[in-house]
Chain A
């Protein structure tokens, strides 16, 4: 059974105001096409769960879609630079206040792992004495609890399952049924893509099932867990996708510069999000020359040396 739909259809049908959503992934394979469509459809009061907040979270915060963020950090890695919309929200409540619950990356991984694996909680690494332990918002006392290990008597920090209502995952390829394949360094995504009650996949390529069956070890989400599949080439730009394209650091730097002011951010969004109908138009705007520059070149990555 084909689950292939357009991005517009997927977001309209499955993302509701006030939901908690996880958008992939740690630095790579970021679901920008998902985020931009959510912004265009003006979804509100979402709880955004991300292992790396990144520019994607910054844009959703700046666009006013997000009421709560659960993430280990939010930044722009190029420079590195501030995530300016995130800063404006946290420092001045612009465009509105956002509730933030911060985890260490390790504790985040354990909380989401507990969700994916049906566990009541997961132990994690020591956190007492840190700001992460001290400051609690969305999850309150349940953010981290401490017990005595029944085995050794040591103090152990525990986190409870962090269950997103919807997981939005961008992968290299999927079949029409939703068997989704991703490879290369995976961050937390293999362990956590299945944490959501519902999963939507976007893929660089939609392939015949025979191709999936030939290399099943690349599948990170089996089709039966997937509600909808979207074909979205370059769906992770400006982040990178293994064996497809490299990270667009120039675009990230341009975003940092533009987003320093509310007006600059608005102009950027008018140009790259509101001003395009869909990802295909975004790609046209990005241009074929830029796509060629960023396209994967196997073992030969040296061209960037001279850029």
Chain B
């Protein structure tokens, strides 16, 4: 199916990283949509772990407001505490993957969700970490989801490191005391998919959506973006895949989510 927008491809590509049977940590926002799409398309038997202490085992027809929304109740296999989910299953390494929203992410995979401009007198003050710093610290494979398509969403260096990625690159993350089996895996964005160089830890363009313009992608990030020796062409979505993505975005919109490209 040719009729889709990059934002929908971002959601779908994120969903495809989830395997049936996975237990994964789901951060707020687009990761929630991606996990719902995965559950409907190919991964019905997943455990979605949330910072509020709930673990979702079955598909909830209603879009939750956050992962802690009690509308999820009939679909929870576990109603516990933050000490068991965020500071438990995630921190102790029992979740193979995690997903987090990345409204501003830099060349080393550090995410800012705290402020734009100087911290003491911000131009725009944003929400702050919540569990985002812990996801950066403890996720074994952290997938970062971005709906952005312009340089301000991909600065060379974020104004504030809310979620630690590879910090200053190379071994700086290890030197700062983070465990070697943790860290960012991929940035899945509306521009395309980025992976991290195994040595420098710099993000490079790894995969592109159908009809992508690589030069335009390079011009849309704040650093000199390198690309893989052989770019991966992500396949055109099927009609069924796009239908499910759109239905989930409709459900989110019915619960007052702001959806890019929709009024």
Contacts and interface: CB of A to CB of B under 8 A. Distances in A.
Does B bind A? yes
Interface of A: 26-28, 51-53, 71-75, 77-80, 82-83, 86-87, 90-91, 102-107, 109-110, 113, 125-132, 134-135, 146, 154-157, 183-191, 240-242, 246-247, 249-250, 252-253, 298-302, 304-305, 307
B62 A302 contact: yes
19 contacts: A72-B129, A75-B126, A78-B256, A83-B127, A91-B124, A102-B128, A107-B134, A109-B83, A127-B164, A129-B164, A130-B133, A156-B177, A185-B53, A187-B81, A191-B83, A240-B69, A247-B69, A249-B256, A304-B62
Given A109-B83, A135-B119, A304-B71, A80 B133 contact: no
Interface stretch (B33-41, B72-80, B145-153, B236-244): B72-80
B65 A102 contact: no
Contact of B68 (A74, A187, A305): A187
B190 interface: no
Contacts of B83: 109, 113, 188, 190-191
Given A72-B128, A79-B257, A90-B122, A301 B79 contact: no
Given A130-B136, A185-B54, A105 B73 contact: no
A255 B102 CA distance: 26
Interface of B: 28-29, 50-54, 60-62, 65-66, 68-71, 73-74, 76, 79-83, 86-87, 91, 112, 114-115, 119, 121-134, 136-138, 160-164, 167-168, 172-173, 176-179, 251, 254-258
A242 B74 CA distance: 11
A187 B129 contact: no
B134 A104 contact: yes
Given A185-B79, A249-B256, 12 more contacts: A73-B129, A80-B29, A80-B127, A82-B126, A106-B91, A107-B134, A127-B133, A146-B177, A157-B177, A186-B80, A187-B51, A242-B73
B254 A27 contact: no
7 shortest interchain CB distances as A-B pairs? A104-B133, A155-B177, A73-B128, A75-B127, A27-B68, A106-B134, A128-B176
Given A103-B129, A104-B129, A105-B131, A129 B167 contact: yes
B74 A87 contact: no
A247 B52 CA distance: 15
A252 B127 CA distance: 16
